[in-house]
């Protein structure tokens, strides 16, 4: 199975709406590793590692996110593999 790492920046109303915890739950359900954190500019940053098909499913989920989120844009870039052992909220 091909594996890779992605950095996703989620813009819109994504802080204060349970986005990080929901992302963690979704990533764990997809067997992805990495982290999610809030950024000072109001966006959410995600580093996810795993199989390409599961990463694609996470990217698709991020377009909407949890119920109260209003996502305006998802910026997706390949990232360097960091070798995480779990998916964590780091800030």
Would residue 89 count as lying in a domain? Answer: no
Provide the domain limits for residue 72: 3-81
Predicted pLDDT of residue 1: 67
pLDDT in tens, 49-67: 999 999 999 999 999 999 9
Q: Number of structural domains, the chain?
A: 1
Residues of the chain with pLDDT under 50: none
Would residue 10 count as lying in a domain? Answer: yes
The span from the CA of 65 to the CA of 62, in Å, is: 5
CA distances from 63 to 7, 9, 12, 70 (A): 14, 11, 10, 9
- How high does pLDDT run on average in the chain? 97
Give the pTM. 0.96
The span from the CA of 74 to the CA of 64, in Å, is: 10
Q: Catalytic residues, which ones?
A: 20, 38
**Domain at 57, CATH number:** 3.30.70.100
The span from the CA of 3 to the CA of 38, in Å, is: 25
- The β-bridge relationship of strands 70-78 and 3-13 is antiparallel
């Amino acid at each position: 199975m091909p594996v890779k790492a992605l950095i996703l920046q989620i813009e819109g109303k994504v802080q204060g709406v349970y986005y990080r915890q929901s992302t963690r739950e979704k990533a764990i359900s997809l067997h992805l590793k990495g982290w999610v954190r809030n950024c000072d500019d109001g966006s959410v940053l995600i580093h996810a590692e795993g199989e390409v098909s599961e990463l694609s499913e996470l990217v698709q989920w991020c377009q909407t996110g949890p119920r109260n989120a209003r996502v305006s844009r998802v910026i997706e870039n390949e990232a360097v593999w960091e070798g995480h052992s779990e998916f964590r909220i780091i800030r």
